[in-house]
Structure 1
């Protein structure tokens, strides 16, 4: 996926200014087709000739990218959804046994939303933060109420720490357990990658830490990305991780709809233990590469008309 965004600018100019530097940008509030307010950031798009001598001057067009939304995307789990039967990847064996696309989808939705909050918090005109919204007591009640629902057990590893267990419980076992929000002009907006999933029916196959207290982790290494990396290494998930990232990037495009994700399925055979040097494929390196590209992914994802062109027509033809 990284070559797709090689020429894409990072979201809110990430890396252009120092991270501690306050930035300011022009915004516009609009009402969406769903009757909810959305916030757009104003910018410009410049087209230039790339090869040979061309007398045409650069073409500068005004451009707006989705910055924040007023509602979450509704997600449901189904045995009949697309990719319920993981087809595998040609030439890649010993990885992605079972199906954990929905688990990875929920994890990436949090990671990208957390990055959104971290970048957005530098704004001089917006108040932005990420947090857990479900406390331990309400989480315990939720787990008890789910006893009469079909439960899907997710194994995050026996050595998961207290903060790691709390994070997985929050994103998997609660409906709206976390928030990434921004306040602007008296309105409260959400990250464009915010989701809600009622009665997912997940439970964790690990020791629990009911009553644990911890703040919402950062998006990158040492935080949520590290939790996801440990999970993917534990289950040897490689291609499914990239598919889940791509799915999350379409969340802004699909607002107002209900999307269906496949129920998790454990591997039908034991997942082999990987020793150092066994394979040239490195799951942590893949996740680090994706994490480095997240700001560019966010810009691509915020350009909903660009996504529509990619899905519905020829975006560009290099032969013309």
Structure 2
């Protein structure tokens, strides 16, 4: 191998070191997961992932509560190729760039959140026995898997509850849903009913509701209907849009059949209106307590949060054995206004389950924001495989051992251990991984990451206190007075807003090495020596209003230092001596290197880097940062306006240099 080829390709020692770190970390996750009989309760708390995330549509902001009518947001409509359209609400994020005696100011990024769709998601039942027997929460390694599951039932319930909240956030104060363009409506389709004389059928899923009211019975019949039984809709710009979390139909041979505890009530005998979100939550809570299904409730909610990212969801087939016993006692309806206090009585587990459900309900506006950011959920899941300290040329050595651990689990369809392993690497997203496995989203995510396509969405990263790209790291001290790290060079180019560097690189992996300052862009030379350096740090989000104004949203947690931030480093892992290994392929490293250097050298290569741009990884192949199709496929971090005038910057720099020269 000649000297040119050595410039980019890592040494065997470097490969062995990174491979060993990755292999031992993920193997450790697998060993611990095999020893654990069920999920950890702490890993299923969705609220652990919340940082400075704004409340959806500014729900409960003081500025909006003081208005008699709901605010009119600035909306954006995107036409789709199938003749339908998607509705977005506009906003803007503000980012600090660090302090320095220079022209770099805080950076504003216009952006959108999904508001409405014209085609709801369809659902089917999976045929691969995904979580056929729910693992439950482990306790002292003794808990056995639950016989059956009711995940799909809880998913359909949360789909309605979130959609009802979506409508309620937008309704004008004092307007009833049935009289408004923003409304919840029942449709004619309903699930069937079973009485005590009915026989069990192979293609039916019998669901025992207990002793529920007529209104509750009507609601369950609507949300478990084979065809669309309800709809959440708003009217904007003369078009009707549906909730991004709503479902249309269950595309399956199976259908639900309901049963009530009272033998005299085989169905219901009243005409009901669709319940509000808090009333529906009471129905859901009663069901969870009736069937001791509280441990599945958070996973079901997280599954619904993936709906805006999917066209179709594939859910685990509920097990009829889960409802084999008929409970005839009516459980207390959930009280939304006052959560129950903990108890030391034997029923305290039910109290805890109820409290968890109520807490998640109150945090729905924040979950909805994360769910509606384009590729937001995808980027959070992909973040599990990212380490900001791995350079682009060593990505293959990092990724390969990960899937040497995961692929056997995927092949065996051992979804419980797979979810646990992924959750151990990034604990605050553990329930999201379980949800992605439940809906089938995990298949495409894992395939993308196996091929090195790690999605980036910097808003979702900021809103969850995670790092998805090296661009979010703090700058390093200059290696010498006349050189700069290429990772910091990238950041300064982006912050300066140069036309070809006006978007975040789609490659999250940092470039290796340094550049002579004399070979960098003028904006880099100007800002490289600023005291404290320059970073990219999220500051705030503002909702754009139709009248041209905006309202700042402080987010869920304004003080991120109080948040528990999980890292991807497991301190309990002790690295052994490097074992000999051979990479199956260097393709991922090659692709990452070509991508980030293509972005960094958008304006051309300095002569001193001939050994790099002549390398086969750079000169051969077609993938680079200008590949628009791949950019859309991997990530859409949003663009900022090109604000710099390169000619003026050059002139100002030359004038400054001339003055400094005259003074010497």
Q: If the length of structure 2 is used for normalisation, what is the TM-score? A: 0.42
In structure 2, C-alpha distance between the alignment counterparts of 1:262 and 1:286, rounded to whole Å: 23
* TM-fit CA distance, 1:77: 1.6
Q: Which moved more, 1:199-208 or 1:161-170?
A: 199-208
- Within the alignment, does 1:309 sit opposite 2:379 as a pair? yes
* TM-fit CA distance, 1:177: 0.7
Query: Unaligned 5+ residue runs, structure 2?
Result: 1-45, 195-199, 332-342, 387-460, 474-664
After superposition, the Cα gap between the structure-2 partners of 1:174 and 1:232, relative to the gap in structure 1 and judged at 3 Å, is: same
SS at match of 1:304: coil
More strand by share: 1
Report the counterpart of residue 364 of structure 2 in structure 1: 294
- Within the alignment, does 1:127 sit opposite 2:181 as a pair? yes
After superposition, the Cα gap between the structure-2 partners of 1:209 and 1:12, relative to the gap in structure 1 and judged at 3 Å, is: same
Deviations 1:96-148 (A, max 9, x none): 65301000000000000000010122399x931111112xxx648x669xx98
After superposition, the Cα gap between the structure-2 partners of 1:143 and 1:32, relative to the gap in structure 1 and judged at 3 Å, is: farther
SS at match of 2:111: strand
Report the counterpart of residue 217 of structure 2 in structure 1: 165
Q: Which moved more, 1:81-90 or 1:40-49?
A: 81-90
Contact 2:207/2:323, CA 8 A, preserved across alignment: no
After superposition, the Cα gap between the structure-2 partners of 1:276 and 1:94, relative to the gap in structure 1 and judged at 3 Å, is: farther
After superposition, the Cα gap between the structure-2 partners of 1:309 and 1:34, relative to the gap in structure 1 and judged at 3 Å, is: farther
Q: 2:75 aligns with which of 27, 38, 42?
A: 27
* TM-fit CA distance, 1:8: 1.1
Q: CA RMSD in A?
A: 3.3
Report the counterpart of residue 229 of structure 1 in structure 2: 285
* TM-fit CA distance, 1:149: 7.1
Which runs of structure 1 show a deviation greater than 6 angstroms over 4 or more consecutive aligned residues? 268-276
Report the counterpart of residue 175 of structure 1 in structure 2: 227
In structure 2, C-alpha distance between the alignment counterparts of 1:170 and 1:178, rounded to whole Å: 6
Contact 1:171/1:177, CA 8 A, preserved across alignment: yes
SS at match of 2:241: strand
SS at match of 2:378: helix
Deviations 1:257-284 (A, max 9, x none): x321111123499799999711554121
In structure 2, C-alpha distance between the alignment counterparts of 1:268 and 1:169, rounded to whole Å: 16
- Within the alignment, does 1:12 sit opposite 2:60 as a pair? no
In structure 1, C-alpha distance between the alignment counterparts of 2:163 and 2:242, rounded to whole Å: 9
Contact 2:259/2:267, CA 8 A, preserved across alignment: no
Report the counterpart of residue 262 of structure 1 in structure 2: 316
Report the counterpart of residue 138 of structure 2 in structure 1: 90
Q: 1:212 aligns with which of 270, 278, 282?
A: 270
Contact 2:193/2:266, CA 8 A, preserved across alignment: no
Aligned residues: 305
Contact 1:96/1:236, CA 8 A, preserved across alignment: no
Contact 2:205/2:256, CA 8 A, preserved across alignment: yes
After superposition, the Cα gap between the structure-2 partners of 1:311 and 1:34, relative to the gap in structure 1 and judged at 3 Å, is: farther
Contact 1:155/1:204, CA 8 A, preserved across alignment: yes
Contact 1:81/1:261, CA 8 A, preserved across alignment: no
* TM-fit CA distance, 1:194: 1.1
After superposition, the Cα gap between the structure-2 partners of 1:172 and 1:20, relative to the gap in structure 1 and judged at 3 Å, is: farther
Mapping 1:182-197, distance limit 5 Å: 182-196=234-248, 197=250
After superposition, the Cα gap between the structure-2 partners of 1:269 and 1:179, relative to the gap in structure 1 and judged at 3 Å, is: closer
After superposition, the Cα gap between the structure-2 partners of 1:58 and 1:94, relative to the gap in structure 1 and judged at 3 Å, is: farther
Deviations 1:276-306 (A, max 9, x none): 7115541211111010011111111000222
Report the counterpart of residue 407 of structure 2 in structure 1: none
In structure 2, C-alpha distance between the alignment counterparts of 1:263 and 1:106, rounded to whole Å: 13
Q: Which moved more, 1:93-102 or 1:291-300?
A: 93-102
Report the counterpart of residue 75 of structure 1 in structure 2: 123
Contact 2:133/2:147, CA 8 A, preserved across alignment: no
* TM-fit CA distance, 1:239: 2.1
Q: 2:346 aligns with which of 278, 282, 289?
A: 278
Contact 1:95/1:236, CA 8 A, preserved across alignment: no
SS at match of 2:73: coil
In structure 1, C-alpha distance between the alignment counterparts of 2:218 and 2:255, rounded to whole Å: 16
SS at match of 2:90: strand
Report the counterpart of residue 118 of structure 1 in structure 2: 168
Contact 1:72/1:194, CA 8 A, preserved across alignment: yes
After superposition, the Cα gap between the structure-2 partners of 1:22 and 1:107, relative to the gap in structure 1 and judged at 3 Å, is: same
Contact 1:5/1:300, CA 8 A, preserved across alignment: no
* TM-fit CA distance, 1:20: 5.4
Bigger radius of gyration: 2
In structure 2, C-alpha distance between the alignment counterparts of 1:268 and 1:168, rounded to whole Å: 15
Query: Unaligned 5+ residue runs, structure 1?
Result: none
In structure 2, C-alpha distance between the alignment counterparts of 1:269 and 1:163, rounded to whole Å: 24
In structure 2, C-alpha distance between the alignment counterparts of 1:26 and 1:160, rounded to whole Å: 43
* TM-fit CA distance, 1:61: 0.6
Q: If the length of structure 1 is used for normalisation, what is the TM-score? A: 0.84
In structure 1, C-alpha distance between the alignment counterparts of 2:114 and 2:122, rounded to whole Å: 18
Contact 2:193/2:258, CA 8 A, preserved across alignment: no
In structure 2, C-alpha distance between the alignment counterparts of 1:224 and 1:177, rounded to whole Å: 15
Report the counterpart of residue 103 of structure 1 in structure 2: 153
